[in-house]
Amino acid sequence: MTTTPPEAADAGPTVRPVERADLLDVYRIEQSVFPQPWPFEAFERFLDEPGFMVVESVSDAGDTTIAGYVVADLTPNFGRDIGHVKDLAVRESFRGQGLGRLLLRHALASLEARGATATRLEVRASNDAAMTLYRDHGFVHRRTVPGYYADGENALVMVRERQ
Ligand SMILES: CC(C)(COP(=O)(O)OP(=O)(O)OC[C@H]1O[C@@H](n2cnc3c(N)ncnc32)[C@H](O)[C@@H]1OP(=O)(O)O)[C@@H](O)C(=O)NCCC(=O)NCCS
């Protein structure tokens, strides 16, 4: 009879708070994904935010890769704390495996555990994949900001009330 070693059975993707040593990987993913990537220093500024998390994927050989990240924070707003998902990306070769969903779920749980009564985000009007993901998590389109992105594309502002 063959048995699966316990360490192999546990080797799913893991979401954890970012560490300084992850920042170069995060920055490289950002550069490969977005036409106007954040500068490295922007990620450094959010290092201590509990809503800045990475997902690590483990290969069959046991190698770990930072496969994606989410950056979210909390801002006081007229007596209620509002979460903001500022950045979310998964390496192209790791997409479609549920990692974006996993990152978003962890970020929302972290924001809401710290008191967020609502969470907002901006998304490119053409980004159907991200919009579907956000709608699935209770985000609704609140307004459109014309020309929000540097290339002139509109942003949809989406908001989720705590559930
Ligand atoms: C958006 C993004 C983070 C999703 O990551 P992912 O790991 O591929 O997403 P998941 O596998 O968790 O999929 C979650 C849901 O997103 C939606 N989705 C993902 N890829 C999609 C695609 N190509 N087309 C349509 N919907 C898609 C689906 O609703 C999917 O749920 P399902 O698998 O039950 O159908 C990823 O595509 C990405 O990094 N895109 C570039 C950066 C970006 O646009 N970030 C968002 C900025 S606002």
pLDDT at 2 over 90: no
Greater model confidence, 2 or 73: 73
For residue 102, give the amino acid letter: L
Average pLDDT estimate for 77-87: 93
| pTM of the predicted structure, to 2 decimals | 0.93
For the CA of 97, the closest atom of ligand 1 is 11
- Enclosing H/E stretch for 82: strand 80-90
**Bigger pLDDT: 12 vs 73:** 73
Atom of ligand 1 nearest to the CA of 130: 1
Half-sphere exposure in the Cβ direction for 58 (13 Å, CA)? 12
Percent of the chain whose pLDDT exceeds 70:
93
Which structural domains are found in the chain, ordered by start? 6-161 (3.40.630.30)
CA of 77 to the centre of ligand 1 (A): 29
Q: For the chain, what is the total number of helices (H) and then of strands (E)?
A: 5, 7
Q: Name every protein residue with a CB atom under 6 angstroms from any ligand 1 atom.
A: 33, 88-90, 95-101, 123, 127-130, 132-133, 136
- Kindly state the helix (H) or strand (E) to which residue 129 belongs, with its residue range: helix 128-136
How far is 117 from 109, CA to CA, in rounded Å?
A: 11
